[in-house]
Chain A
């Protein structure tokens, strides 16, 4: 079994919390792609930590475009161009959510999927359930779609509908992992992003720290679509 980690780092603090947990993956065959956002802070400490703990990691220094989704898409683009082999991919970022009073609890719950005690369970689910496509925190498995009205309860409804039509996505389960931290079968990522260029998608995302408090965004729409990829390819999204 081989793993790919695509990790986006934006904040100058708290990356240690993520790194401490990513170390749990070092016992597996794992390729790391870290994206450190361009022009933000002194990167020396984090680069030193990457060299020490993840010596074979690929490090990107992307522009601050599309928030974590933009960084993750740049990582996916590179993984496809380098044809990095993997069975399962971890999509993750140094989540903080400064606007939410429960931001740290949210992060800790999402990061449960890289805790030592959960990893065997997750890989066992993938192994035993051939339909399991995406695995993430059950607590943040959400849906905003109302089947009775066929509408999204989201500021991003208009953008979501447009993207669904443009890409002709067939979705029967609109559940997504709020926070965009999850494991996914790499084949799903390869299939979808070989068809739709990650950099083309990234270019259409909002620049800088775009928020969805009062209007929809491409970024937050793609946060949902990332999870729907399982359903699009006839897989299930599993909460643990």
Chain B
């Protein structure tokens, strides 16, 4: 598929953890998992995530209840539980930074059980604890699949089984017909197996290619260019760090405490400040002692020192 997709089809908290298998190798999509960090299946999940196929990407969604007072034990505890997942080389990191979903649940009056500000503040503390400079988040209405808040400017389509009547293949085909170049990522929430969802999305895109080939080509070009841009941005960030690192090392050459500076100071105070006649006398003494050639006192082109 041209457009990247994240598919949530399994729920560890529903007791399906042991049956949740990472997608097959090179599946082409990002497997989404909804987790509660204190779930006993989490250890099994870690093991699968780290020991199984290296090429498959995954990402996680946390239910907002995780941050409610009765569950939330502070950023360090939560970071300790989800940190190993976020550190996995398989974790989905668009542009080099991890992306996380928070599924927002509401009380009987339709109000969020925890404010967005508090939620975001807690989330920032977790990522800061883990040492990330940057992360992407999506706050999503748990039952409607609606994006409530995000810090990512990518154009995203959300498919939520409970909100869309038509088959996902037709839904995707229709979206492509409307705004083909304005889709960067698809997020699907469904009870169907992830592979099946992916096949359906693939079928929708294939139909679009057949019906609107030129548009499809434009889309392909756009996706290719965006991939190059992302790679360049990662490289740029790496080079910026490299420059900063080199500057840090170089600045060390000019500070008082360094060996280099001490040698420079020693040379200056022990030799450089002496009067010129004294230095010349010193050269003559070197000739007398046999340490320097006589001719070198008058000719810069001859060998100066004997050893």
Q: A residues bordering B, Cβ < 8 Å?
A: 12, 35-36, 38-43, 47, 50-51, 56, 58-66, 70, 74, 77-78, 81-82, 98-99, 197, 199-200, 202-203, 205, 207-209, 211, 213-214
Q: Can you sample 17 A-B contacts with CB below 8 Å? A: A39-B96, A42-B231, A51-B54, A62-B87, A82-B43, A197-B80, A199-B79, A199-B129, A200-B76, A203-B76, A203-B129, A203-B130, A203-B131, A205-B131, A208-B241, A208-B244, A213-B255
Considering only residues 258-272 of chain B, those with a C-beta below 8 Å from chain A are 258
**A25 nearest CB across to chain B (Å):** 19
A209 partner residues in chain B, CB cutoff 8 A: 241, 244-245, 248
B186 within 8 A of A: no
Q: Is the CB of B238 within 8 A of A39?
A: yes
A50 partner residues in chain B, CB cutoff 8 A: 54
B40 within 8 A of A: no
CB nearest neighbor in A for B256: A214
CB nearest neighbor in B for A207: B131
Q: Is the CB of A213 within 8 A of B97?
A: no
A38 partner residues in chain B, CB cutoff 8 A: 93, 96-97, 132
Q: How far is A182 from B228 in the complex, measured between Cα atoms in Å?
A: 40
Q: Is the CB of A199 within 8 A of B238?
A: no
Q: Is the CB of B50 within 8 A of A58?
A: yes
B91 within 8 A of A: yes
B278 within 8 A of A: no
Q: B residues bordering A, Cβ < 8 Å?
A: 43, 46-47, 50-51, 54, 76, 79-80, 83-84, 87-91, 93, 96-97, 129-133, 231, 234-235, 237-238, 241, 244-246, 248-249, 252, 255, 257-258
**B173 nearest CB across to chain A (Å):** 33
Q: Is the CB of B249 within 8 A of A99?
A: yes
B43 partner residues in chain A, CB cutoff 8 A: 81-82
B47 partner residues in chain A, CB cutoff 8 A: 82
Q: Is the CB of A47 within 8 A of B54?
A: yes
What's the A-B contact tally at a CB cutoff of 8 Å? Answer: 115
Q: How far is A63 from B80 in the complex, measured between Cα atoms in Å?
A: 14
Q: How far is A128 from B51 in the complex, measured between Cα atoms in Å?
A: 34
**A2 nearest CB across to chain B (Å):** 16
Q: Is the CB of A213 within 8 A of B83?
A: no
Give the contacting residue for A63; candidates B133, B245, B257; CB below 8 A: B133
Give the contacting residue for B257; candidates A58, A199, A203, A213; CB below 8 A: A213
Q: Is the CB of B87 within 8 A of A74?
A: yes
CB nearest neighbor in A for B249: A99
Q: Is the CB of A77 within 8 A of B83?
A: yes
CB nearest neighbor in B for A12: B238
Contacts A39-B237, A211-B248 hold; do A64 and B131 have CB atoms under 8 A apart?
A: yes
A208 partner residues in chain B, CB cutoff 8 A: 241, 244
Q: Is the CB of B248 within 8 A of A60?
A: no
Q: How far is A59 from B258 in the complex, measured between Cα atoms in Å?
A: 38
Q: Is the CB of A199 within 8 A of B83?
A: yes
Q: Is the CB of A39 within 8 A of B50?
A: no
CB nearest neighbor in B for A98: B249
Q: Is the CB of B84 within 8 A of A81?
A: yes
A213 partner residues in chain B, CB cutoff 8 A: 252, 255, 257-258
Contacts A77-B84, A209-B248, A214-B257 hold; do A63 and B235 have CB atoms under 8 A apart?
A: no
Q: How far is A38 from B130 in the complex, measured between Cα atoms in Å?
A: 12
A41 partner residues in chain B, CB cutoff 8 A: 234-235, 238
Give the contacting residue for B255; candidates A81, A82, A202, A214; CB below 8 A: A214
Residue with the highest number of chain B CB atoms closer than 10 Å, among A12, A40, A50, A211: A40
Q: Is the CB of B131 within 8 A of A39?
A: no
Additional pairs, 9, CB under 8 Å, beyond known A60-B89, A77-B80, A99-B252:
A59-B88, A70-B131, A197-B76, A203-B79, A203-B131, A209-B245, A211-B252, A214-B252, A214-B257
A199 partner residues in chain B, CB cutoff 8 A: 76, 79-80, 83, 129-130
Q: Is the CB of A82 within 8 A of B231?
A: no
Q: How far is A82 from B43 in the complex, measured between Cα atoms in Å?
A: 7
Q: Is the CB of A62 within 8 A of B131?
A: yes
